[in-house]
Structure 1
Amino acid sequence: MSGIVGWIDFRRDIGTRSDILEAMTGTMRHRGPDSAGVWLSAHAGFGYRGLDTGAVEDGGLLARLDLGDAAVALVVAGPIYNTGELRREVESAGGTPRSGATCELLLQAYLIWGDRFVERLDGMFTVAVWDGRTRRLLLARDRLGLKPLYYHGYAGGVVFATEPKGILANPRFTPRLELSALPIVLQPRLTMPGETPLVGLREVAPAEIVTCSDAGTTTRRYWELTSAPHHESFDKTAAHLRELLEDVVGRQLATGVPGGAMLSGGVDSTSIAALATQLLRRSGRQLDTYCVEFASDPAHFTPTELRPDVDAPYAAAAAEFIGTRHHTLTASVADLLAAIPATRRARDLPGWGQFDASMYLIFQQMRERSVVALTGEAADEFLGGYPYFFKADRVGRDTFPWIGDGPRLVDYLSPELRDVVRPEQDERDRYHELLARVPKLPGEDPADARMREVFYLGMSGPLAVILDRKERMSMAHGLEVRVPFCDHRLVEYLWNVPWSMKSTGGVKGLLKAAMADLLPAGTRNRRKSAYPHVQSPQYDESLIREATWIANDPASPVGWMFDTARLNDLIGQIAADQLSSELPGGASPAHLLIQLVEMRAWIEENGVAVR
């Protein structure tokens, strides 16, 4: 539901620079093709592009109220699922929203509760408030970080936008690579909340409120997980999980008109699609479901631990069982390669090559019939669906359990850059910083305490990668994809369900027990299969060819960063199929080069300074 931008300058008059604010707002057109709005005063300006999801609360995303000589303005992006409850609370406290629009309701909530109004919101959202009375800007993001919001502070001002391109449209920001951030460029799963690879660019972290004034910037978290003993039996836990999922899907269906859902035939997506189908059927509507397959699968698909089979047959069987109108997208390597430049534009930050491209293409197809859709993503992070959860040696390592034992691209940097980056120490520091944030449960069994840490590590960088990809690739088409498994109440509950209960009956046994009556046998008995990636010599060759040029051509903008001989050796091993190490995300050896290729393209296409 839209993209937002803003510009605050505490010291200079920007009231005549509507051209800049309009340009910033225009960069969000793809996110909000249905409406637009701009508000500009002497020291503050907001803009938005809106997406009409069919919700009665849509009606504009920017609200403003003059209080004496000062204006208070608010702009919001993303759906709020509890507007009914919030409206009753606001009216009981004496607030008087001037219309039914969500932005007017939130503005009244801010006037009553200050920045603590954010704690009352249930949804996937970002919100900005300019309070002319105190000359302060407030930026906030939903608890799980489902909607993005970036900001850049400069001497005397702040620029913010849903996507970096909105900030890039303001002359106050010049993109420059932070060389010490190369580890997260070359392995985005290591990214800490709020971190970006550009100097001076931050992302509002999940569950964070950022307050900016002429005196500086402060941040605070408004939501944290809390560890507590779990006393319910397995059956009661499964029943509670089912109740929560039914409520979450119901809330998300009630806000807007979801008509589509991703369906792989696995337990996560089938559970969400089945619940949505039940609810939509009551109003005479049918759910459209979507799956992706690759034209190269018949010739080149090889089962792996993380992707033991092809989704399409399971998805079709699940769709027939639950009664959806099903669509399968068959993507060729040529389709993927043609889409990749658009995926880069959707991100403004280094992308994921074909992993982005297939999702971009399926969301493009979904947008032909739907404005709002659902996905089963993120269940693995909260219920323990990945193979490493079941491997004692991986869980027991004093490092990220998802990292694998293969080479890291950062290890192939030049000696000079390695002295700056210190990759081994950087990885250890990130790991131990996250461990220090894990909410402890006093007296917890050491094995259970370690599994709590493992879940927390997966709910950090790796989850952000999944959610970012989903959000950017869908909103590139003006499609809003909602993630029921990321409802904060559901996450809070699952956080304290012990691993032994989550895994009873095998991978995601608890979820299978909760949803048993709505799942076909093929889904219940299927092994975990991650989001598909293409297996194609043609695609691998394109990566190897591009990586070879990056490493050896003097015109390469990033070749100087690497130890040429060692990087060539790695590329040679991949080309000769001599690399058999386990890589993060179950990637194939050639896919290790994606971040190298995407980094080069990102730097060139966005004019990022690197020296």
Structure 2
Amino acid sequence: MCGITGWIDWERDLTKEGQIVQKMVDTMIDRGPDAGGVWLSPRAALGHRRLSVIDIDGGAQPMKRTIADKNYVLTYSGEIYNFMELRNELMQRGYHFTTRSDTEVLLFSFMEWGKNCVDRLNGIFAFAIWDEEREELFLVRDRLGVKPLYYAVRGSAILFGSEPKALLANPLVQPEVDEKGLAEIFLMTCRTPGQGFYKDVHELRAGHTISFQRMGSKMTQYWKLQSAPHLYDVEETAQHIRELMFDIVGRQLVSDVPICTLLSGGVDSSAVTSIASQILKEKGENVHTYSIDFKDSSDHFEKSEIHTGLDAPFVKTMADYLKSDHHDVVLDTPDLISDFLTPLYARDFPALGDIDTSIFLLFKAIKQKASVALSGESSDELFGGYPWFHSPEPTEFQALPWLYRTDFVGLLSPELHEQIRPKEYIFDHYQKAIAEVPYLPGENDRDRRLRELFYLNLVYFLPVLLDRKDRMSMAVGLEVRVPFCDHRLMEYGWNIPWEMKNTGGMEKGILRKALKGLLPEEVLYRKKSAYPISYNPSYVLEMRTRMESILQDSSSPVLPFIDREKLASMVRGANSDIHLIHGPVRAFEYFIQVNTWLKEYKVRIAV
């Protein structure tokens, strides 16, 4: 994993802009702590920060290769899991490799197959290739959007980067936010794929490429979910899922640096860990596992619809079962407070509160001993693990189902309501998403609605989780791989009928069946519980104090956007018995972040 950035300009000599390009690169030292590089030419400047994972001594970037006097330059972030197969094929076609890196395989793949090379890649990636002869920039993002990529057009200039901060380091891009940006910020659970927060700064959508030449640009969607009848019975389906998972995890365990897994004691992380353990034991190695908990969590835990129980007992069961080298990372309120704003600077926009802070601190602890971790994201989206898949109300309601649980619209000021028109914006967002759904001909109304739910979760909700995982891990130079995001599993799982996904009348029933014998029974049939949060009253009181301070300071930049009276009433009513999911603390966390972001980034509202 790495950080990439670049600047293309058909009217400026970029060989004279090395200092600015270096500043763009330097913003991403955390993403790539091991090395950095800049490549300059009159029309193109590419930059790179490297986290060395495969071929530590080779694979330096930006990487340039020449064929038939034509020059190609690559800057790339990610991992190509089938790079050895591609390397062997390219060698048969006459290519000579000077490194063991997947970087060189990727560049040669483009030189051999052109833009169609993306169809051959299995991995997580964001990359840019400059074709010097054609003076063309080719930007690519992986199928599920695991790795981020932003770009902006400013006159004759094209700027891109793994994170907004790389673009903001160039004077051509200013921290401005228009009405769309305000809507994305304040309707935090209504993220629009492709829509950046800053004015005219775009996020390349997952599964898309975009090419820039002097005369214009062309965007292409090279991958999307496609619906087809599922022709296999329950036993065949479970067996195929199991075989796919072993192949996927095996590929993702390739690393020249220490590797581990995240273990929550839930089905998804336990599945990845168990398979990794088996594969590593065949090599004479033992799996290292990491989990997160909070001090005195058993004293403060509050059971809810999405937090059904504490992770710790199931983590211990799983670690003992596999005899893993296990590491518990236990956090206390002072830990969360000291790094409360760190995720904001990692994201370049407001973060999600203690769930961002705690996972950042988990990754920081992991980084002391490992540089790669495997995680369980996207299983719930693919197999139907969330409560809203099993509750009739969200199934019938024509909206984004997760808005039921985190809706701050009622706390926004009347003026902001008038500007962004929340209900209309959310409904339009929903309608655009539904218009993309690839229905299966002949489906009944119920199955059509469930397909819509799966699409919303995979294409609109999952990117929020993947973005969080990328930013918090790369903020400490840790690469997190997500086996359930393998596109082969996605394509297969997408078309498994609901009755089969729900085998045994339990969420993710088909996955549990596929994992039979790999997990202890109590873990295999554990009811889903969401990522843990802190229930410590001292954390709630700290957030209340900070929110109160913002409300009392007339210069606080967030004030024009919030309903001060409602929030002041919430501050007065907040106490140590507050419920952290539906209570005020979630709002306090977020508006504190927004206030800091507006102030520290010197955000200008361009409406």
TM above 0.5: yes
CA distance in 2, matches of 1:180, 1:240: 43
In the other structure, the counterpart of 1:595 is 590
* 2:343 is equivalent to residue 334 of structure 1: no
Percent sequence identity is 38
Amino acid at match of 1:133: E
Partner of 1:534 in structure 2?
Answer: 534
Worse-matched range after superposition: 427-436 or 98-107:
98-107
Aligned residues of 1:264 and 1:311 also touching (Cα < 8 A): yes
| Partner deviation per Cα, 1:289-324 (whole Å, 9 max, x = no partner) | 111111141331111121121111210110110121
Correspondence 1:18 to 2:13: no
Q: 1:595: Cα distance to partner? A: 2.1
Deviations 1:221-241 (A, max 9, x none): 110111011121111111111
Cα pair distance change 1:114/1:320, threshold 3 Å: same
Structure-to-structure mapping, 1:112-191, within 5 angstroms = 112-191=112-191
Listed as ranges, the matches of 1:116-515 within 5 Å are 116-257=116-257, 259-404=259-404, 408-505=407-504, 506-515=506-515
* Cα distance in 2, alignment partners of residues 328 and 561 from structure 1: 40
Letter in 2 for 1:119: D
Distance 1:54 1:284, change over 3 A: farther
Shift of 1:545: 2.8
Structure 2 residue 603 is matched with structure 1 residue 608: yes
Q: For residue 91 of structure 1, report the CA deviation from its aligned partner.
A: 4.0
SS of 2:289's equivalent? strand
**What secondary structure is seen at the aligned counterpart in 2 of 1:600?**
helix
Deviation at 1:255, TM superposition (A): 4.5
Note the C-alpha offset of 1:348: 1.3
CA distance in structure 1 between the partners assigned to 2:454 and 2:189 by the alignment: 14
Check conservation: 1:300, 1:536, Cα contact below 8 A: yes
The CA distance in 1 between the partners of 2:577 and 2:179, in whole Å, is: 31
Alignment partners' CA distance in 2, 1:187 and 1:571: 21
Runs of 4+ in 1 over 6 A off after TM superposition: 67-70
Contact persistence 1:552–1:559 (CA under 8 A): no
Whichever residue aligns with residue 438 of structure 2, its letter is P
Could you state the TM-score of these two structures normalised by the residue count of structure 1?
0.94
The whole-number CA distance in structure 2 between the counterparts of 1:415 and 1:215 is 44
Counterpart residue type for residue 137 of structure 2: L
The number of residue pairs the alignment matches comes to 605
* 1:165, distance to aligned residue in structure 2 (A): 1.5
Matching residue of 1:553: 553
1:4 aligns to what? 4
Q: Which amino acid in the other structure matches residue 266 of structure 1? A: G
2:379–2:385 CA contact under 8 A, matched in 1: yes
Q: Deviation of residue 198 (structure 1)? A: 0.8
Q: Deviations over 1:556-584 (max 9, x none)?
A: 01201233334434555655979x8xx9x
How far apart, CA to CA, are the structure 2 residues paired with 1:190 and 1:26? 31
Of residues 257-266 and 269-278 in structure 1, the stretch that sits farther from structure 2 once superposed is: 257-266
The alpha-carbon distance between structure 1 residues 126 and 568, as it changes in their structure 2 partners (threshold 3 A), is: same
Distance 1:68 1:349 in 2: 45
Cα distance in 2 for residues equivalent to 1:284 and 1:70: 46
Amino acid in the other structure paired with 2:247? D
The answer to which of 30-39 and 432-441 deviates more is 30-39
Superposed CA deviations along residues 445-476 of structure 1, whole A, max 9, x for unmatched, are 22111111101111133211211111111111
Q: Is the 8 A contact 2:287 2:325 kept in 1?
A: yes
Structure 1 residue 178: Cα displacement:
2.2
Q: Counterpart of 2:59 in structure 1: which amino acid? A: G
Q: Aligned with 2:134: secondary structure?
A: coil
Alpha-carbon contact 1:76-1:126 (below 8 Å) kept: yes
Q: Cα offset for 1:60?
A: 1.9
Q: 1:141 offset after TM fit, Å?
A: 0.7
Mean Cα displacement is larger for which, 87-96 or 216-225? 87-96
- How far 1:548 moved relative to its partner? 3.3
Provide the secondary structure at the position in 2 that maps to 1:542.
Answer: helix
Cα distance 1:520–1:472, how it changes in 2: closer, same or farther (>3 A)?
same
| CA displacement, residues 260-283 of structure 1 (integer Å, 9 cap, x when unaligned) | 111011111110000000011111
- CA RMSD, aligned part only? 2.1
Is the Cα–Cα contact under 8 Å of residues 181 and 421 in structure 1 kept in the other structure?
no
Residue 321 of structure 1 aligns with an amino acid whose one-letter code is Y
Q: CA deviation at 1:330?
A: 1.0
Matched residue type, 1:273 = T
CA contact (8 A) 1:60 1:101 kept: no
Query: Equivalents in 2 of 1:315, 1:81: separation in Å?
Result: 28
SS in 2 for 1:481: strand
Contact 2:540/2:576, CA 8 A, preserved across alignment: no
> Are the aligned partners of 2:149 and 2:162 in contact in 1 as well (CA < 8 Å)?
yes
Q: Are the counterparts in 1 of residues 538 and 576 from structure 2 also a CA contact under 8 Å?
A: no
2:596 maps to amino acid: A
Cα deviation, residue 61, structure 1: 3.4
- Compute the TM-score of the two structures, normalised by the length of structure 2: 0.95
Consecutive unaligned residues in structure 1, runs of 5 or more:
none
Deviations 1:121-162 (A, max 9, x none): 111111101112222211111101111111121000111111
2:28 counterpart residue number: 28
Gaps of 5+ in 2: none
Q: Which moved more, 1:151-160 or 1:270-279?
A: 151-160
Moved more, 426-435 or 182-191: 182-191
* 1:524-552 C-alpha deviation (Å, 9 max, x unpaired): 23211111011122222222333334345
- For the Cα contact (< 8 Å) 1:32–1:49, is it kept in 2? yes
Q: Distance in 2 between matches of 1:576 and 1:355?
A: 19
CA–CA distance in structure 2, aligned partners of residues 113 and 68 of structure 1 = 15
Question: Is the CA contact (8 Å cut-off) linking 1:61 and 1:77 kept in structure 2?
Answer: no
In 2, the alpha carbon distance for the partners of 1:110 and 1:438 equals: 31
